[in-house]
């Protein structure tokens, strides 16, 4: 029979739902960029904490990697250029994984900024759709500190 599909409004297309998922992820990526910039600054003065790299790796695997499938699925409906942004996003996600394993905050920061550019470019192609983040608990900015707190990712 299959799994049940999520409830959606009659006027909401699958492309629009996918773009809303991507738009909800962009502020999370931007928040991670500021944290990694702080980690990079601290590593000049202090010894490297391997938990910081593990935090970024867990974030990439739990938040960024699922977006690869969403972008691949949505790219054909956005026309030319979308496939390039999706490929860039995928390559920078795998490069971020390598940077985390090598414990290089500078490389992690470069890859995260490239991911932000690819994600923002992909969303710019979908401007004809509603690309505002969804109003659910995962996109509520007040809960961002709780849901994607690095101490929760470190607990594991």
* 39 close to 105: Cβ distance less than 8 angstroms: yes
Residue spans of the chain under pLDDT 50: 8, 10, 139-147, 156
Alpha carbon distance 115, 92 (integer Å): 6
Query: The whole model's pTM is what?
Result: 0.75
Alpha carbon distance 69, 72 (integer Å): 5
Alpha carbon distance 71, 75 (integer Å): 6
Residue-level pLDDT at 105: 87
* Joined tokens for residue 89: 């996003």
Alpha carbon distance 88, 26 (integer Å): 15
* 154 close to 54: Cβ distance less than 8 angstroms: yes
C-alpha pair distances (Å), 88 with each of 10, 66, 78: 32, 15, 16
Residue-level pLDDT at 136: 54
* 129 close to 19: Cβ distance less than 8 angstroms: yes
Residue-level pLDDT at 112: 93
Q: Which residues contact 108 (CB under 8 A, 6 or more apart)?
A: 36, 40, 53, 56, 96, 99, 100
Residue-level pLDDT at 129: 73
Residue-level pLDDT at 140: 46
Residue-level pLDDT at 143: 47
Burial 53-65 (b: 16+ CB within 10 A, else e): bbbbbbbbeebbe
């Amino acid at each position: 029979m299959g799994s049940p599909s999520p409830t959606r409004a009659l006027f909401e297309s699958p492309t629009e739902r996918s773009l809303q998922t991507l738009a909800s992820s962009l502020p999370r990526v931007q928040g991670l960029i500021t944290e990694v910039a702080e980690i990079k600054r601290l590593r000049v003065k202090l010894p490297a904490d391997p938990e910081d790299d593990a935090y970024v790796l867990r974030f990439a695997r739990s938040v960024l990697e699922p977006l690869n499938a969403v972008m691949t699925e949505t790219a054909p409906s956005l026309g030319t250029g979308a496939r390039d942004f999706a490929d860039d996003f995928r390559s920078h996600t795998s490069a971020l994984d390598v940077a985390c394993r090598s414990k290089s905050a500078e490389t992690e920061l470069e890859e995260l900024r490239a991911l932000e550019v690819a994600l923002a470019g992909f969303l710019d192609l979908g401007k004809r759709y509603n690309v505002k983040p969804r109003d659910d608990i995962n996109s509520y900015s007040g809960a961002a500190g709780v849901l994607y707190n690095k101490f929760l990712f470190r607990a594991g």
